[in-house]
Amino acid sequence: MRKISYFDNKNIIHDRLRYYRNLRGLTQKDLAAKLQTMNVNIDQQALSKIEKNSRIVTDYELACFCKILQVTERELLGDLERFDAE
């Protein structure tokens, strides 16, 4: 299996995902439950891995995170310019 990473990151939303989840007062378990109602099969352990930057995030997961957390994709993805400087 091919390793997928970007500047040693499995995903670039891990910090902002945790920030917005906490800002909305949601636990990882709460967020997982909301995702499952959107037919996204993800559990608390998978969310923990995403927030620890040890699991990739799919495009549909990103879209659902944005909808649940009421943020734009840009807000979760952040500024990619910080990676260009490295």
Domains present along the chain, CATH in parentheses:
14-76 (1.10.260.40)
pLDDT tens-place values along the chain, 86 residues long: 566 766 788 999 999 999 999 999 999 999 999 999 999 999 999 999 999 999 999 999 999 999 999 999 999 998 765 544 44
How many Cβ atoms sit within 10 Å of the Cβ of residue 10?
17
Q: Of 38, 85, 80, nearest to 63 (Cα)?
A: 38
**pTM for this predicted structure:** 0.85
Task: For residue 84, report the phi and psi dihedrals to the nearest 5 degrees.
Answer: -65, -30
Decide: 30 and 63 in contact? Cβ < 8 Å.
no
17-52 burial code (b ≥16 CB/10 A, e <16): bbbbbeeeebebeebbebbeeeebebeeebbebbbe
